[in-house]
Amino acid sequence: MNTVVTTTRTDLAELAAAVQAWLSDAEDDPSLTVEDLERSESSGMSSVTVLFTAVGDGARSEQVLRLAPEPSALPVFESYDLHRQAAVTGALADAGHVPVPRVRRVEESPAPLGRPFLVMDRAEGAAPADNPPYVFGGPLVDATPAQRDRVQRASVALLTGVHATPPPDALRADGPAGSGLARLVDDTADYYEWTVADGGVRVPILEDGLRRLRDERPAQASSDVLTWGDARIGNILYRDFAPTAALDWEGAALAPPEFDVAWFVFFHRMYQDMAESFGKPGLPAFLRAADVLAQYRADSGRTLHDMPYFLMLAAVRMGIIFARIKARSVHFGDTPAPADPDEYVLHHRMLRAILDDRYEWEI
């Protein structure tokens, strides 16, 4: 059977038949059918997301299937732990601070579809776009200041809810309490070395950043909490400018809360810098660092420490991800290899300014 998920009609028809056969067996209901199966436009390179409707006993259920990436496709990340994602989503659902889709099943066997996958309920709403980034146009640009303020306040409050959620046992096994920052820095360096060994190139600006992260790691960090690992509004679905679901928990870990807050701030600032470099106004008054930090402190009651360090960590870590994505694009012939390896990093100018202590975060 062809297990390559593409948008061609034949492949999707084959996939729909395979999903229907698996679902009928899993639910012990041969009358179940699968309709309207399509690949999500938001599918990234860390996984493949497929939308479908399960029909049985006169009821229709809209669901989402996320397949682990093919190892031969130069996946962005080395591993893809479906059970870990399901455990984190379950913990968030149980705590009730953060809206998340219900995970229905995790299938470890590659037999049904060619690789492991999980199935969850489909949530309503839409996420701000990443390609092109939402700062270039769309609902947030067209929104009123009051509507954008509603998004900002609700999103920061959601992040506070993540950090207030008791972590599942699947994360507690990562290491002893208080070791989250050291583990995060070590994992970032290990991830970089894996990308180099698995078809990538050495990128001097990233190695400069990794040296600074090792040399300047704070001796004392905030207590570890459940962190998202990819905290940004592009991973939140909204309806009428209010969050309906938080998605993508592959990077969840026990770490200081500053990392999520820094990632949240960094990601928007990176997009804003990108817009300005193209002569676009972007959204300069939206998700400003000082505003986000002030609201997070007020909502959580936490004191945030060493934010310049965590912003640097976010910029370096995202740089490794971008370098991996670029190496993947070069490998498959989509783009030529840059003459300067630093240009594997999409935000290399921003990162250089950060590493040279020239970047103004206004915090």
Tokens of 3: 């297990």
- DSSP characters for 186-204? HHHHHHHHHHHHTT----H
Determine the Cα–Cα distance for residues 148 and 202; give it in Å rounded to an integer. 40
Are 125 and 244 spatial neighbours (Cβ–Cβ below 8 Å)?
A: yes
Residue pair 120/132 in contact (Cβ under 8 Å)? The answer is no
CA–CA separation, 177 and 87 (whole Å): 19
Q: Could you identify the residue written with the tokens 């968030």?
A: 92
- 345, two tokens: 């990093």
| Tokens read off for 122 | 């489909």
∠ CA 260-266-269, rounded to 5°: 145
Pairing relationship of beta strands 103-107 and 117-121 according to DSSP bridges: antiparallel
* Catalytic pick among 224, 230, 248, 306: 230
Catalytic, 36? Answer no
Pairing of strands 242-246, 33-39: unpaired
Burial of 163 (0-12, 13-18, 19+ CB in 10 A): buried
For the annotated catalytic residues, the residue numbers are 230
